[in-house]
Structure 1
Amino acid sequence: MVTEHRADESVGRSVRYHRKQQGLSLEQASELTGLSVSMISKIERGLTSPSVRSLYALSNGLKIPVGTLFSEHGEAPAAEGEDVPSEDEAGLVVRRSARRTLDFGEKRLVKELLTPQPIGSLELLMIVLAPGGSTGDDVFSHDGEEGGVVLSGALELWVDEKRLLLHPGDSFTFKSRRPHRFRNAADEETRVLWINTPPIY
């Protein structure tokens, strides 16, 4: 399993790679993302875990998908012995062993990307929250719609500051422009099948 420190270093290398590919100085990247030069430098050196909000700021400023920041040079690393879809499955199936994974480190939040590439207008995610895991203090609001179903554990979801407590089998939908955040409300791992449209990652 990749440690949080190594995950931070990987994200940092990816941010530096894409910034330099676009010929941007730290100061220019700061202007585009709204993050301080010091913060971007710390992220690039793997000295801090970027918040979810910082990741979105980097994604928007550098004009790359958020998921790109979690793999070296924008490529999802191939796992040893990876179960690659056959030609007939390409664009239709993502084998469990071949899922791309976004690890948000200290948030104790992992997002497994379930949608085949190239992605269309619908995105499937498996949200995995360890005990104590959450989106933190970040509140999200963006274009689109989203929904999901709790598979295990318990999910505490806030939409417009309205608190919803969801258990296995409970489902939800809302317009993504409504401010939202969530956390694991159980003492065990919580898993949620989540759907976004349009795709975010």
Structure 2
Amino acid sequence: MADDFATGEISDDIGTRLKLVRQIFGLTQRELARRAGVTNGAISLIEQNRVSPSISSLKKILDGIPLSLADFFTLNFSSSDSVFFAGEELTEISYDPAISMRMVGRKVKGRAMQMLREVYQPGADTGDAMLRHDGEECGLVISGSIIITVGVQERLLNPGDAYYFRSDIPHRFRNPGPEPCVLVSANSPPSF
């Protein structure tokens, strides 16, 4: 095994990546070493880029996380990717002054879902033409009330009520109440 850590088969940045991945998964060097069946010193030396593991040794270490070699080399584990968004960082995507739709993480690359904070002013309506798009949609009413029509079904939802439907079914939203309706929604795949 000692020879496996001196071959230099893998690039010098492996140590930095291993340390970041280990920390993301919440493991200490000692815990990862125990899981992988290697010494704590071996993990430490790799993370300091003082030794370079062979591919088989790296695979054994990654099995302790567990994480595949392919994911280790291809996934973006950058700690600089935005994870948290202040309210003012949410992107407004509605052009209707009576409806606000603020998107979470609009600039996140490769988004598989879309999350919105929606506010419908009293009397606001998404229009007579029903909406349709690919995927699924769900949401939760935070305050106020909203009438949601999905196909031939229609219901008034109040705070705490929720919905979930296939978005290729024609649908629309209307606030019949005297106060703004706030809801949080998600669709997958993103439609904006």
- Calculate the TM-score normalised by the size of structure 2: 0.55
**Aligned equivalent of 2:104:** 114
Counterpart residue type for residue 112 of structure 1: R
Amino acid at match of 2:172: R
Deviations 1:154-201 (A, max 9, x none): 010000031111000001100011110011121001011010100011
Q: Which residue of 2 aligns with 1:148?
A: 139
From the superposition, tell whether residues 93 and 116 of structure 1 become closer, same or farther in structure 2 (CA, over 3 Å): farther
Residues 89, 173 of structure 1: alpha-carbon distance in 2 compared, 3 angstrom cutoff: farther
**CA pair 176-90 structure 1, distance change in 2 beyond 3 A:** same
Identical pairs, percent: 30
Paired residues of 2:142 and 2:184 also in contact (CA < 8 A): yes
| 1:50 matched residue in structure 2 | none
Match of 1:103, SS state, is coil
- Per-residue CA deviations over 1:24-65 (Å, capped at 9, x if unaligned) read xxxxxxxxxxxxxxxxxxxxxxxxxxxxxxxxxxxxxxxxxx
Provide, for residues 56-93 of structure 1, a one-character-per-residue CA deviation record: whole Å limited to 9, x for no partner: xxxxxxxxxxxxxxxxxxxxxxxxxxxxxxx8463312
Give the equivalent residue in structure 1 for 2:114. Answer: 123
Where does residue 95 of structure 1 map in the other structure?
Answer: 86
| Unmatched segments (≥5 aa) in structure 1 | 1-86
Among 176, 186, 192, the alignment partner of 1:195 is: 186
Q: 1:188 aligns to what SS in structure 2?
A: coil
**Distance in 1 between residues matched to 2:123 and 2:133, nearest whole Å:** 25
- Per-residue deviation, 1:134: 1.1
Deviation at 1:116, TM superposition (A): 5.1
Using the alignment, how far apart are the partners of 1:101 and 1:143 within structure 2?
21
Unaligned stretches of 5+ residues in structure 2: 1-77
Q: Structure 1 residues 89, 132: CA separation in 2 closer, same or farther (over 3 Å shift)?
A: farther
Paired with 1:141 and 1:171, the residues of 2 have a C-alpha distance of 19
Could you say what secondary structure the match of 2:182 adopts? strand
Query: How many pairs does the alignment contain?
Result: 114
SS of alignment partner, residue 93 of structure 2 = strand
Structure showing greater radius of gyration is: 2
Contact preservation (8 Å) 2:91, 2:106: no
CA contact (8 A) 2:133 2:191 kept: no
Paired with 2:105 and 2:188, the residues of 1 have a C-alpha distance of 12
Please list the CA deviations of residues 113-171 of structure 1 after superposition, one character each: whole Å capped at 9, or x if unmatched: 11352241011001111111110112012210000000000010000031111000001
Distance in 2, matches of 1:99 and 1:181, equals 23
Provide the C-alpha distance between the structure 2 equivalents of 1:164 and 1:97, rounded to a whole number of angstroms. 32
1:61-76 equivalences in 2 (<5 Å): none
Moved over 2 A (4+): 87-91, 102-106
